[in-house]
Chain A
C-alpha cells in the first residue's frame, strides 16, 4: 500500500477582516514543468539552483512588442539592450528577431561584434567610451550616442584623424513629470544644453547627426511620460530641420518599460497593474504622428527595451534547505537561492511557486537565501504552501539583469539552461568552478606553501 504524501502539520489562526502584510495567497497550482520539461528533471540533470530561459517566451514577447508598435507607427526598430541579459545565446535570439544591439561599454561592444552583429547596427551608449572604443565604433560606422561634451570633442578629433564622418546622436535628458528625474546622462533639454550640443555638432560638420536619444528611467509605470519625452525630442528634430535643413533619421526612446514583476511594497501584482506594450506604443506613436514631421519624413522609431522583453522568459529553480522558526514564531524557510544570483529580489517581490503538488494549507513565510549574511532575504513575507526540505521552487520573472548583475560571492554562479522551441533543454552557460576562480589569481612565491 502506498503511503499518503507527507505534509508537515500546521495550525493557523483564522483572522477576520483586514488583509495582513503577507497579502492574499495567489499560487494555487504548482509549476511542475517549464515549456514541457519537468522541473524535477532539469534539477536532476543540471543541478540546483538553476536559471532556465524559455526561448518561446522571448520570441512571443518580441512579437507582441513589435506588433504593438508596428501597427501604430510605420518605421520601428528594436535594439537589444545587452546589459539586460548578454548571454550569447540570448543576444542571438534577439538578433534573429531582427534586433540591433545596444551596448554601453567596450566589453559589450566587442561582444556584439564577436556575435557577428553588423557594426552599423550597433548603438553605442553610455558615459565611458575610451579612445580605443570610439576608434572601433567610428571605423565600423556604428551609431555613437554622445553623453557629454568631452566625448563630443574626442569624436571630432578622431574624425579628423581617421578621415571618417562618424554617425552620432546625442542623449537628451529632460523633465517628463516622473521623479526622480534622470539627469546625469546626456544633455538637458530644458536648460538648453541639448540644443547647444546639437549646434556644436552641426557647425563642426565633422559628424553626421543622425538621431536623438533619450532613456527616461527604468521600470516606468507611466506611458504618459514617454509621450512627453517623444514630444520634446520631436521638437528638437524639427528645430534642426528648420535651422539646418538637415533631417534627423531616428528618434530613440530608450528602454524602461515595466515588466510583469511586482515592485516591493505594491499591494497588487504587476501582472494586473503594469502598462502593456500597447499602452506605451499608443503614447509614443500618437505624439510622433501628431507632430509636424512630413508624412514621408517620419523618423525611424528605435526602442532599446530590455527588461520588458526578457524578464518573463527567465525562471530560477531552487530547493528548500531547511524550515525554521524565528524567535517570534514566524516561519523561516532557507532556500539555496541567494541575493548574489537574484539581484532583483532587492526591487521586486518575485512570484514564487512550488514545483510539486501541495494542499491549500499555507503559512506566512520569510524566505532566506543560503549566504551567511543578514541581507540575504529573497522574500520578507510570502504566503506560501507548506514546503518540505528538498522540495523545489520556481522563482518567476528573473530574465532581466540577474544573469548580468549576479555576483560570485560565497557561492559559485549556477548553470543556465535554454529550452528551445522543440522543448529541448540546452546548457548555455556552464556553472563556475573553483578552477575558474583560481585561474584568475596569482600567488606571489613568498606566499606559497610547499606541502
Chain B
C-alpha cells in the first residue's frame, strides 16, 4: 500500500491532494498511519506500532485499518499501480 507521491499531510491533520485539489481532515491516529504509509511500512509494522502506542487490540485495529485504507482508496489517495511492499 503506498500513498500517492505528492499527497501532503500536516501535523494538525490537514491533508491536501494536489491532483484533485481536494482537502481532507484526518484525526491524529490517521496522521500516524499516513506517515507510516509514506515510509512504506508494512501493515504488520503499522499494526505493531499502533498497538504499542494506543490502548486497543489487534482485531479491532486491523478491522479499522482495512476500513481506513478502503476510504483512502475511495478518495484516490493511494497509488493503485504500486504493489504492496512486504
Contacts and interface: CB of A to CB of B under 8 A. Distances in A.
Contacts of A13: 22-24, 75
A325 B27 contact: no
Given A3-B55, A325-B70, A8 B24 contact: no
Contact of B27 (A10, A14, A329): A10
A14 B24 contact: yes
Interface class of chain A by DSSP: loop
Interface in B50-72: 52-56, 60-61, 64-65, 67-68, 70-72
A386 interface: yes
Contacts of A12: 24-26
A439 interface: no
A361 B56 CA distance: 18
A9 B75 CA distance: 15
A9 B30 CA distance: 4
B1 interface: no
Contacts of B52: 3
Contacts of A4: 53-55
A358 to B, nearest CB: 10
A10 B54 contact: no
B68 A329 contact: no
A11 B68 contact: yes
Contacts of A388: 60
> Chain B CB within 10 Å — which of A9, A14, A388 has the most?
A9
A223 to B, nearest CB: 43
B74 to A, nearest CB: 5
Interface string A197-237: 00000000000000000000000000000000000000000
Contact of A9 (B22, B29, B53): B29
A386 B56 CA distance: 14
Nearest to A8: B64
A409 to B, nearest CB: 30
- Contact size range, B: 20 to 34
A9 B32 CA distance: 9
A8 B61 CA distance: 7
B67 A8 contact: yes
B68 A10 contact: yes
A9 B56 CA distance: 12
B54 A11 contact: no
A378 B20 CA distance: 36
A4 to B, nearest CB: 5
Identify the interface centre among B22, B23, B29, B33: most chain A CB within 10 Å of its CB.
B29
A327 to B, nearest CB: 12
Contacts of A8: 29, 60, 64, 67-68
Interface string A370-397: 0000000000000000101100000000
Contacts of B68: 8-11
B58 to A, nearest CB: 12
A14 B23 contact: yes
B16 to A, nearest CB: 10
Nearest to A322: B63
Contacts of A11: 15, 24-26, 30, 68, 71-72, 75, 77
Contacts of B26: 9-12
B11 to A, nearest CB: 15
Given A9-B33, A11-B24, A14-B23, A329 B74 contact: yes
A212 B64 CA distance: 62
A3 to B, nearest CB: 4
Most buried by B among A7, A11, A12, A359: A11
B46 to A, nearest CB: 10
Contacts of A6: 29, 54-56, 60-61
A19 B15 CA distance: 21
A297 interface: no
B54 A5 contact: yes
B50 to A, nearest CB: 8
A50 B84 CA distance: 46
A192 B56 CA distance: 71
Given A3-B55, A389-B60, A9 B24 contact: no
Contacts of A2: 55
11 contacts: A4-B53, A8-B29, A9-B29, A10-B71, A11-B71, A13-B22, A14-B22, A325-B70, A359-B28, A386-B27, A389-B60
Given A11-B15, A325-B70, A389-B60, 12 more contacts: A2-B55, A4-B53, A6-B55, A7-B27, A9-B29, A10-B30, A13-B22, A13-B24, A13-B75, A14-B23, A361-B25, A388-B60
Interface of B: 15, 22-30, 33, 52-56, 60-61, 64-65, 67-68, 70-72, 74-75, 77
Interface of A: 2-14, 323, 325, 329, 359, 361, 386, 388-389
Q: Which 8 A-B pairs have the closest CB atoms?
A: A6-B56, A9-B30, A8-B64, A361-B27, A3-B55, A9-B68, A6-B54, A14-B23
